[in-house]
Amino acid sequence: MVSKVTGSRSADSSGIYRRPRLVIRLKRFEDLPTVLSKTKSYPTPIRMVGADYSQTRCVGGDGGTTVDTGGLDKILEFGETFVRAQAGVRVGTLVHALAERGLELPLTPEMGQISLGALAVPTLPQASHGAGVAQLSSLVTEIKLITPQGKQMIVTERERDLMRVLRSSFGLLGVVHEVVLRVRPLTPVKIDYLVLSLKEFSGRFASIIRAPGALRLHISPFNDRITVERRTLDESASLSRSGIWQIRKSVMRNVLPAFGSTVGSVLAAPGLRAAMQKALHATLDRSTRGVMMYAHEWMRDLPVEAWKARHTYSLWAFPEADFPVVLAAYYSFCKSYFKTNRYRCNVVSGASRLHQDKGSLFSVSYTGPMFTLEPSSTGDEGWDDFLIDFNDFASGLGGTPTFNQTRALQPEHVAKSFGERVKLFRALRQRTDPLNRLRNSYFAYLFG
Ligand SMILES: Cc1cc2nc3c(=O)[nH]c(=O)nc-3n(C[C@H](O)[C@H](O)[C@H](O)COP(=O)(O)OP(=O)(O)OC[C@H]3O[C@@H](n4cnc5c(N)ncnc54)[C@H](O)[C@@H]3O)c2cc1C
């Protein structure tokens, strides 16, 4: 039924501490009820793992059972407006299979490894094109899961409130084994870059957010440089395959790596910072005219072992209207932190504009449009301490965190940001899983 893997009892190689007693690789979802009901053979807590790329202990181990969903790897059905697949399918595999059929997801992340189970139940904010869809879980229209009592449940968009809770449930309400995602026809994307100082960015902010397109920012507080990357859907553009492959080569080789914060790209170790900046300028000169590509072509596969990507970051989101003020405060925070502690992040910080999205309970843009802010690093010495102070800074400015991409999170940050939504989730969780079969110490600490 399931293949068992020797349990690891120590911190894993990414440095994120975990202690599962047992790690099993699921081959058939039909085995899940047995795994959930046999507490002696499969110790509590039962926690699922997809690609294991989260930045926090949201997978967790705690002497329990880690269930690797990688064996549930079938794409089951392609429709014109939807695709049905098992939870262990990687989003990169899915996106390429869709592209072969002239289809795509309405939001395409840059990292290919994300498993569909992890796409469905955590909040994964993405640079968005319009209201309603700013986290990947909002693409999910149906979820099949096994409850802590071992019962199969099928939830669709028609059960709006339940779907909203499940889409940010992190495996705490049940184990997802199948999902249906919304798809649309492949649409060319025009990518433009604009390099601004903070003063210029603040002065032009109203027009930057008014113009159409998804926005991704690359921020260097010490060089006072904000690169605004705008991705505009252009349905009228017709791109031949050969044309698009040439553009792809140019973008992948020359443009994206130069930004440092783009996933899987070149990292700016301190000694390389000057060279990085040079490459950035040279590349930008070439790219200001804009390039066209399809979204799936910016997707990258990172190393199979998460820690080898050597790219770590933390993420908070802030109300859109406050963002220029937040950025100015971030510049000052970084400079003052460096003065006192001689530490500064060695990778360009990222940011994404998120439209309002109420599709999941813990959506970071639940209350309105937001911008994320993502300090990034290679995980060098001083990074962990920096994040502790950064969290207080971000929470003090009214920021909203995530549970799998915000590191060193504390219960008071969670209570302040999510308030009543946490209480609602806790009450539902206690009813659904009274024996805490699915809860690990990380979530117990944050939610109570
Ligand atoms: C270098 C780097 C680059 C990244 N780039 C991007 C990016 O471009 N875009 C983006 O959106 N994100 C990005 N991320 C973040 C990443 O997408 C998330 O951390 C995502 O959760 C990773 O997917 P995973 O399969 O590794 O999830 P995991 O870490 O394996 O799991 C995440 C959570 O989901 C739960 N879970 C997993 N499967 C199931 C299931 N079947 N049923 C119930 N619960 C389940 C787990 O228990 C855990 O709580 C990046 C992360 C890194 C480190």
What span, in angstroms and rounded, lies between the C-alpha atoms of 362 and 400?
9
Cβ-proximal residues to 107 (8 Å cutoff; 6+ apart), any chain: 126, 128, 129, 133, 134, 136, 139
The preferred substitution site among 25, 29, 54 for testing ligand 1, maximizing ligand atoms within 8 Å of CB, is: 54
Each residue's pLDDT, cut to its tens digit, for the chain (448 residues) gives 666 665 544 444 445 556 789 999 999 999 999 999 999 999 999 999 998 888 899 998 888 999 999 999 999 999 999 999 999 999 999 999 999 999 999 999 988 999 999 999 998 999 999 999 999 999 999 999 999 999 999 999 999 999 999 999 999 999 999 999 999 999 999 888 899 999 999 999 999 999 999 999 999 999 999 999 999 998 776 655 545 555 555 554 444 444 444 433 333 333 344 444 444 554 555 444 567 888 888 888 877 777 766 678 999 999 999 999 999 999 999 999 999 999 999 989 999 999 999 999 999 999 999 999 999 998 889 999 999 999 999 999 999 999 999 999 999 999 999 999 999 999 999 999 999 999 999 999 998 7
H or E stretch at 86: strand 82-86
- pTM reported for the whole predicted model: 0.89
C-alpha 111 to ligand 1 mean position (Å): 10
Give helix 383-396 / helix 323-341 axis angle, nearest 10°.
140
Report the atom number in ligand 1 closest to the C-alpha of 306: 53
Ligand 1 proximal residues by C-beta, below 6 Å? 47-54, 58-59, 69, 87, 109-111, 114-115, 117-118, 121-122, 124, 126, 136, 170-171, 175-176, 263, 302, 306, 309, 311, 404-405
Q: How far apart are CA 4 and CA 183, in angstroms?
A: 35
Closest atom of ligand 1 to 88 CA is: 41
Say whether 62 sits in a helix, a strand or coil. coil
Question: In this structure, are residues 114 and 309 in contact, taking their beta carbons and an 8 Å threshold?
Answer: no
Q: Which atom of ligand 1 is nearest to the CA of 115?
A: 25
What phi, psi does 319 have (nearest 5°)?
-55, 135
SS3 of 414, please? helix
What is the whole-number distance in angstroms between the Cα of residue 115 and the centre of ligand 1? Answer: 7
The rounded Cα 375 to chain-centroid distance in angstroms is: 14
Report the nearest-CA residue for atom 9 of ligand 1.
109
Strand, helix or coil at 285? Answer: helix
